[in-house]
Structure 1
């Protein structure tokens, strides 16, 4: 196991009715701005719950953070926050609202342009914030990560912000999510685990078993959620699985991949593909191209998650990859670029971008632009 330092300061406030606790979670003496997305919270009752919980408090609201948060929008929120002397934020929405709010928190505390903060890759200074999560997927409610889009150049980059001070997770708010939103959320959570699990064998029994437990849970609840998306216990498992998939726990002391995410971000930047959907397309391709590198872990994954025990080692590896793609398709997602009318032009753009940046992703830092091209071609 590799050396590591672990600290996750976010307080999870989980369960039905917990939005009512906002008044005790947010300090009394702050200048508060609440950030939202496009307005779905006005239809599912969350907006009214937030206002009721903060009755008597003064705050301002900022609306319009996109599904893939754009720096152009976030600059306006930062400017408003500085004018109003905002020193505390509350993000209400899905992972994109939370990701965007992390940049707002950094931008208000900095004189640097918001996009330059993203390009720098991290922020030293941030104002504090909390969250009310409405779409389980990204884990942004309990991690530092944030992914921001620059619309004018069709670029999308990840960077490291700050942890939320608290996050409220009420499974009942998921009842109004569309089937596609849930499918993408489940795909996102599943892929987050694979990015940390399908790397180097023999690093940590504990991390392996924890990762496999999340994978098995997601696979078990996915078809049941399709049948009954208003089952509280199912949606509670879904919500918590998405958080545990990317809140620093299952990566302790192990190598990580993230090549699939980096390629997926480019598909989103260029075509607006929903993040979780882009991962469902790219991950099977990553496994196909890197199956020799990931051979031992794929064998373990196939046996422990899919109960694949018969055939030669290569047959079992291939079957594990095949069943991974089948799982994504069982969610109702396409898994091939051609199904989304994405062709060779996009593949070459992504290859060129990676090569120009000189990047090398993956647990072995060997996923260059040319390897990304191979992965994408295997996804056609």
Structure 2
């Protein structure tokens, strides 16, 4: 319980809030609107954004892919530099917002933007940015982190800087109405694992953080169990807010954090294109079973307070089974199949990538070495 916490992102939550960017961005600022594959032109978000920016000078950059790549984003960096962009507006999900953070930081740097990801450059300044969230999952709209892929050599790495914290985030649950079921499921799973990474660690006395994490997990569990009711304002609003709160920094303040599931999962995405959330569901159950003794107390706490399981000698084991059943009930796989038929080579490749990226002491105890990661992958790879 020793921490400094601030979250300066202004949240504009609710129906019709996209119009609020008219006043959130000064009219004398030249705006770069960054978005993805064009779905915002089909669901009305683009038109609402254009209307809100009617009195602003703005240009656009489209084509940011899921798991945004340096190669694509560097084209937007060039626009920021060449056209003297004053403000960046990300319109999309976590990938677009993460990509915009890279553009915001790299646009103020004379070197190669990848230096941000390998720790060669720390972003002290960045172009101010805001976000219009269209896909709830990552919480990127109100935190200071981003994950970027370098397609050239299949590297997927994170960077963090207060300079890229969005100034504001528009969160209108109505934009979720046209999302495919797969993306809604991914949002539930992503927010769930984000919460778990900050909760299933060591026992703490942080009653607020632990209690809030459990509230988020129970909410996400309920949303998953009531997935058939997803076409309602209540369901959409609760998922959007839960995903935000899972990774806005609050529940992780002053407590141990894990993130090993994410670091291993990133390699599955980089190598085989596995959806980010689904890579987490593949890794997490096997990782928890591997680390069950050091995590037993928190797993038992989760079993009692999230799943309402009765006391038993194998409560931790039953909690992991309940987590896996939660994924399976959402039709989310917990074994990697995208690697093909050669399991040993696939595992060797993942371990090689983890070593290359310095991911050799993962988890809240730094106990997940490459050898331990191999044990986890033996169980997680089909």
How much does 1:354 deviate? 2.4
Q: Is the 8 A contact 2:189 2:278 kept in 1?
A: yes
| Aligned residue number for residue 156 of structure 1 | 156
Work out whether residues 12 and 167 of structure 1, in 8 Å CA contact, stay in contact via their aligned partners in 2. yes
SS in 1 for 2:90: strand
1:197 equivalenced with 2:196 (yes/no): no
TM-score by length of 1: 0.96
Which deviates further from its counterpart, 79-88 or 253-262?
79-88
8 A contact 2:12–2:170 mirrored in 1: yes
Structure 1 residue 358, shift from structure 2 partner = 5.9
Cross-structure match for 1:222: 224
In structure 2, what is the Cα distance between the partners aligned to 1:205 and 1:22? 37
What is the RMSD computed on CA atoms of the aligned residues?
A: 1.3
Q: Which runs of 5+ in 1 are unaligned?
A: none
* CA distance 1:340–1:334, shift in 2 (3 Å): farther
Counterpart CA distance in 2 for 1:344 and 1:243 is 38
Would you say the 8 A contact 2:272–2:338 is kept in 1? no
Query: Does residue 74 in structure 1 map to residue 73 in structure 2?
Result: yes
Deviation per CA, 1:36-91: give whole Å up to 9, x if none. Answer: 00111011110011011111321000001110100001111001111101121000
How far apart are 1:353 and its partner, in Å?
2.6
Tell me if structure 2 keeps the 8 A contact 1:288–1:378. Answer: no
Residue deviations 1:282-332 (CA, integer Å, cap 9, x gap): 1111101000010111111111111122431xx111100011011111122
* Match in the other structure for 1:260: 261
Instruction: State the match for 1:323 in structure 2.
Output: 322
Q: How does 1:99-114 map to 2 (within 5 A)?
A: 99-114=98-113
Larger deviation, residues 370-379 vs 254-263? 370-379
Verify: 1:368 aligned to 2:354, yes or no.
no
Check whether the contact 2:189–2:277 (CA below 8 A) recurs between aligned residues. yes
Q: CA separation in 2, counterparts of 1:55 and 1:127?
A: 21
The aligned runs of 1:279-298 (5 Å cut-off) are 279-298=280-299
Write the distance in 2 (CA, Å) between the matches of 1:78 and 1:330. Answer: 42
Q: What is the alpha-carbon distance in structure 1 between the residues aligned to residue 115 and residue 205 of structure 2? A: 36
- Describe the superposition over 1:121-177 as per-residue Cα deviations: whole angstroms up to 9, x where unpaired: 741111100000000000000101100000010110011132100000000000111
SS in 1 for 2:56: coil
CA contact (8 A) 2:304 2:311 kept: no
Q: Secondary structure at the match of 1:373?
A: helix
The whole-number CA distance in structure 2 between the counterparts of 1:359 and 1:158 is 16
Tell me the residue number matched to 2:277: 276
1:282–1:335: 8 Å Cα contact kept in structure 2?
yes
| 8 Å contact from structure 2 (residues 91, 134) kept in 1 | yes
Contact 1:203 1:253 in 2 (8 A): no
Distance 2:274 2:338 in 1: 12
Q: 1:222, CA displacement in angstroms?
A: 1.8
- Structure 2 CA distance for aligned equivalents of residues 339 and 307 of structure 1: 34
203 and 347 in structure 1: CA distance in 2 versus 1, 3 angstrom threshold: farther
Q: Which residue of 1 aligns with 2:30?
A: 31
For 1:43 and 1:63, how far apart are their aligned partners in 2? 14
- Equivalent residues, number: 376
- Asked whether 1:347 is paired with 2:347, we answer yes
Unaligned runs of 5+ in 2: none
Shift of 1:258: 0.2
1:229 shift after superposition: 2.5
Give the deviation of 1:339 after TM superposition: 7.1
Q: Hey, what does 1:145 align to over in structure 2? A: 145
SS in 1 for 2:309: coil
Does the residue aligned with 1:65 lie in a helix, a strand or coil?
coil
Residue 212 of structure 1 aligns with which residue?
A: 214
Following the alignment from structure 2 to structure 1, what is the Cα–Cα distance between the partners of residues 359 and 14? 45
Question: Whole-Å Cα distance in 1 between the matches of residues 303 and 229 of structure 2?
Answer: 28
Partner of 1:379: 380
Supply the distance in 1 between the matched residues of 2:346 and 2:73 (Cα, whole angstroms).
Answer: 27
